[in-house]
Chain A
Amino acid sequence: MFSRAYRAAITVPPLLWIAVFLVVPYALLFCYSFWSVSSSQVIVHSWSLDNYRELLHVHVYLQTLFRSMWIAARVTIFSLLLGYPLAYFLSFYAGDRKDLFYQLVIIPLWVSYLVRAYAWKTILGSDGVLNTLLQYVHLTKHPLEFLLYSPFAVVLTLTHIYTPFAFLPIYASLEHIPRNLVEASHDLGASPMQTFWRVIFPLSIPGVLAGATFAFVLSLGDFLAPLLLGGPSGLMISNIVVSLFGAAYDWPLGAAISLCMLLLVLALLFLSENLEKRWSFR
């Protein structure tokens, strides 16, 4: 049907893009994770599993990984707890103002991540807005130290940043629920509460899973929020990778950690995709 040149013209650029920006970097990452660094700071191209062994035996790596997962899990839960009611309200009760509210949820996504992280720094710091206010109304005498440079600050900031990502797929799945199903449920005698738990929520599960995956994966790999607001106790696994590729100059170990993270995320995506399929009926 189409000429060979035409087909080449439309298929080669994306393939080239994928090769240059995905396949090659991942292949390099894969190779690096089996190499090592000599005492004279040179990358040695000899294959071994030493990096993976180190990862399992040096306490700080696994500990940081688990902390990162715990932070990501909390961010996921809070994002869902905030995003779901918001999406539900918008989809079912916002009426004519649906579009306006939708834009209000989306607009923060246009503001630079960095600006939002710094904003929380200004709010949570010991001379920050929140502490000043608390002291002004005499709720505390001294600034609360746990607000900033803590896992709390990281969870709060990441929740703020990733709630729209949880909201969007939930909203989309709620919008896809045919309204006559809700009417049918009322018609059959189910109260609004029963209708929510028996019809609306089950049918929105694919959206919840997609939103949870977004929030978890994005916050698991985050390094800016912990860098700016986490302090030593709020350090996450990506911070370690960054320093291994930077100051510590241990690219092979950094690559091994990155690869493990990648596998973890792929497993999660695979899992959530399968669950979503089980819960979609169209």
Chain B
Amino acid sequence: MIKIVSGFSLPAGSTVALVNLCNQLNERGYDCILYGPDNWHMDKCKSAKMSDFCPENGDTIVVHNINLFSVVELYKIENKFEELRKKKRLVSLKGVFVRHFPRSRKHVGIRLILSCQENELFPLRRLNYAMFDKIHYVHSSQITYHKIMHRHFVCPNFSNHLIASEHKPIRTAGVIGSIRQEYQTEVSIENALQDGMEPVILYGYLIDPVYYYEQIVPLIKKYPGKIRFAGFIDDKQKIYDSVSDVYCTVGRAWSLVKKECALTNTRYHGPDTSSIEEELMTNDQIFNVWKKELEL
């Protein structure tokens, strides 16, 4: 059984990537289930709550966004389990690991993969990556960023089926991606408005409401009637059908936005960070990488 377990299953790019991975594996005949602490993923793929997660002999476990440091520390955390759980939902998963994993970092019968979908938001050097059999990077640039020596493989995320939009609106901009300071959403909005776009629609998970209130709300007042907030929309085709242009300020090399713009005949205004080789990988090719690395 392939078990994907993530410390974050709210609507954002990494969750969509894991949902797609789970669905692709199941569609191709490999039993896979996605565990997460939140509810959003529950009706998107074969899924369960974090509390149902239990490693079993023979499992391949793909871990995402969980700060596992050391087995020794896990034992200490277990002692503070109830206290820490109030602060962080992830502690419940750590508790599961504490109960099921031996003190040794050898996990006989369990293959442990760390899926790294972030850079500065999840620095690998701060956790005990040695306990994983392999690290999965979604882009080769992450190898340089994280600067750790460990067995790894690079494989982009599966992409959604998208088609060129038939009836595009005129000069309507989308700012696609989680709304947070690090992604400089406010700069993307300003760029779109300076290009004469109206309206500018924000499509993304509101990860930092304080940032929204401090940085985006003043723009809404400065440009009355021109900025709209849609939130995270599941249906990407609907997003691209609703905009003529997409603005992005901080480009992550593994972001699918540029590729999706090309598929939907949407103009892309943003950094060109992805490599041609990874852009061109089909879902079949991506699956073949997973098949090899998970030894399916």
Our verdict on whether A and B bind, yes or no, reads no
B: residues with CB less than 8 A from A are none
